[in-house]
Each structure stands twice: as structure tokens, then as C-alpha cells.
Amino acid sequence: MEQWSEETIAAFRKTLLKWYDENKRDLPWRRDHDPYHVWVSEIMLQQTQVNTVIPYYERFMSMFPTINDLAAAKPEQLLKAWEGLGYYSRARNLQRAAQEIVDDRNGEWPTTAAGLQELTGIGPYTAGAIASIAFGEPVAAVDGNAFRVFGRLLMIDADITKPATRQLFAETIDQIIDPQRPGDFNQAIMDLGSSYMTAKNPDVAHSPVKAFDRSYETGHVLDYPVKTAKPRPVPVDYVALVIHTPAGYLMTKRPSTGLLANLWTFPLVKVSDLLKDDEQETDLMDVDIVSRAEQAFETETEIPVSLALIGGRAVTHTFTHLKWQIRLVSAELSTVPDISLFAGEIVAESAFDQYPMPVVQQKLWRRWQAASKK
């Protein structure tokens, strides 16, 4: 790992911040230093690209302009505002932390990274970003960009998938961060990591800090940061039941905990739940899966249906550790059924915008629309 002198650190700060002042991205959450704005944007940016986040952020702020509005929001309204961003626990934790600030702290924000981490859903990176940008604390915000930028600049060979490595990077960056402009410094690293120092196809030759980049000098840019490969997501097969009635579609609400908590989807049946003793999923033909899904649904709900398989490739959706592969089956009912035993509701298409639905449901809906037009 490269060690910088005080003179090098001073030169790096000057070079980086000059570039940032001249080239920083015009993002809606950067137009002030309000901790609420910084916080919401940083939570949205987790696992999501900047261009995707901008319209969500602007809509979210129009719906919940203050932290008090967020704290008082109805859960269904909150999830609808978050719909499409995924990782819905982020939205629920946002509201819990808002309530902690409003109710338990009389609306007063913690002003240090350590204090911010006492709030629900705020980890070291988010705390560092808020503390440095909103409150001027000279503390690192260590995310993927910081790992990439400083891993390459200093040729840090510690594996970033290991928890101890985050602390190593934080301590290293804390020695380099500009104490007068810590928020701008951290945001400059974010911009640098998303432009010249990207994970793939970086443009290091034109990077404003290439003179400080040890990995560029030695021809080892793509060797950093050091990261062990993640295991592939485990495939899980489902069947989605698209059951249409004169009043609308049968929809179920996901459990209050676990993946996609409290969101609405077509009824989903895990294929592994349709297996008999000693059977493997590969033993089942499509006709077996359809007939068993039909039987399982009728047994549970007492709603008779005649399901038909919708052709084409399975709809896929990848979570961190799981890859859902979903085939659609459909049924058209001529009358509105008794749904007293069905764990859900009949929802008219015109009312879909009142029900928070995850991205995977939106994929299923698009597939169904395409199939119905054929």
C-alpha cells in the first residue's frame, strides 16, 4: 500500500477539489446541505444508479417535503412512492429513522457520523456522507466509489468483501480528506468513481488525479480494488397466477417481513412446493406444474380455475442472493368468485396505482400484456 506525504496529500486535495468545482454534477440533492435531502438521496442511491434516482427523489420530495411529513406518512403511501426502486426495507427504515428524529429527538439531527449511526438504517457510509456534507465533519464516506478510487490510487491490496477492510479504508481516507471541505471531498470521490475511475473501462489516462494513481503508473488499474467473487444467486422457480375476473385481477399482499414485504403481486406459487416425495423439479413437465398449481390454488381458496401456461421465456428477477424465474399461467373467470378464503383482493387495473407493486410484478404485468395482445 502506497503511503503519501503531507505534501502529496495537500496537492491531491487541491487537484481533486479544483476538478470538482469545475466539473461537479448538477444533482437536485446537492443544491443545499439539508441533512434530510442528503439522507434521502444517499439511501435511494444504494443499489441504484444516479439517473434512475433523480425522478424518484424529486417525486419523493414533492410528496414528503420535510422529515415530519415522512414520519407521518401512511405505510402504503410510502411504499407507493418507493415503487420501482427495490430493496423496500430502505423505505421502511427511512420512515423509522424519521420518526426517531421527530418523536425521540424533538426534530434534532445528530451531527456526527457516530451519532447518526444510532438511527435505524443508517450505516457507516451513509453516516459519513450526511455528517461530512450537511455538518462539515471531516469523516470518510466509504462506498464502492471510495473503494475503487483509493484502492487504485494507493494500491490497497486488502479484500473489500471483508468487514475489517472498510475500517482500513476509512482510517486511510480520514488522513487524506480535506478538513475544510469534507463534504465536497467525499462528493468529488463519488463523481470521480462514476466517471474516470469506473469499475469497467475506466478512462484513467484522462483522470484529473492520474498523477497520484499508483495502479496507473504500474499498469495494474483493473487489479484494484481487491475483491473476492460473490457466489452466484441461487435460482428459485415460481409460477405466477394471472386470474382475471369481471371485477379485476386476483392480487395478493406479501407478508409483512421478508422479500417484498407488504407489496402486491399476482399469486405466486413456488415450484418446489408442488413436488411430491423424492421428486425433483426437473422431473416435472410443464403440464404437471400447471395442473398442480391449479390444484393447490383450488384447495387453498375453493375457487375453481382452469389454468393455461403462457409461453415464452420465464420472467427473471435477481435479488442479492436469489434469482427468481417465474412462468405465468392464466385463467379467465366469467363471474366474480367468492374470495373469502383467498389471501388477497380483486384489484381493477384502473386501481393499480393505489397498490404498491415491486419491479418483479411490473415485469409480470408487462409479460401478461404482451401475451394478451397476441
In the prediction, which pLDDT does 130 show? 98
Is 42 part of the annotated catalytic residue set? yes
Distances (CA, A) of 109 to 9, 32, 139, 178, 223: 32, 16, 17, 23, 40
Is the pLDDT score of 318 beyond 90? yes
CB within 8 A of 58, min separation 6: which ones? 28
Whose CA is closest to 214, among 266, 155, 138, 131? 155
- Rounded to 5 degrees, what are φ and ψ at 263? -100, 160
pLDDT digits (tens, 9 = 90+) for 229-269: 888 999 999 999 999 999 999 999 999 888 999 999 999 99
Amino acid in position 43: I
In the prediction, which pLDDT does 341 show? 96
- Where exactly are the structural domains of the chain? 6-218, 234-373
pTM attached to this predicted model: 0.81
Q: Are 119 and 100 in contact (CB under 8 A)?
A: yes
Confirm or reject CATH 3.40.190.290 for domain 6-218, answering yes or no.
no
Q: Are strands 234-245 and 322-332 parallel, antiparallel or unpaired?
A: parallel
Range in 99-103, 174-178, 283-287 with the lowest mean pLDDT: 283-287
User: Which cell numbers hold the place of 348?
Assistant: 381493477
Whose CA is closest to 76, among 354, 269, 295, 273? 354
CB neighbour class for 151 (10 Å; exposed up to 12, middle 13-18, buried from 19): buried
Average pLDDT for 19-35: 96
Whose CA is closest to 187, among 55, 31, 64? 31
Distance linking the first and last C-alpha atoms of the chain: 60
Q: How far apart are CA 369 and CA 374, in angstroms?
A: 9
Q: Are 309 and 293 in contact (CB under 8 A)?
A: no
CB neighbour class for 27 (10 Å; exposed up to 12, middle 13-18, buried from 19): middle
Active-site choice (42, 83, 137, 294)? 42
Residue written as cell 375476473? Answer: 245
In the prediction, which pLDDT does 285 show? 82
Cα 117 off chain centre by:
19
Domain 6-218 and domain 234-373, same fold? Reply is no
In the prediction, which pLDDT does 131 show? 98
Task: Please give the CATH topology (third level) of the domain spanning 234-373.
Answer: Nucleoside Triphosphate Pyrophosphohydrolase (3.90.79)
Range in 195-199, 215-219, 227-231, 313-317 with the lowest mean pLDDT: 227-231
pLDDT digits (tens, 9 = 90+) for 136-175: 999 999 999 999 999 999 999 999 999 999 999 999 999 9
pLDDT digits (tens, 9 = 90+) for 347-374: 999 999 999 999 999 999 999 999 987 6
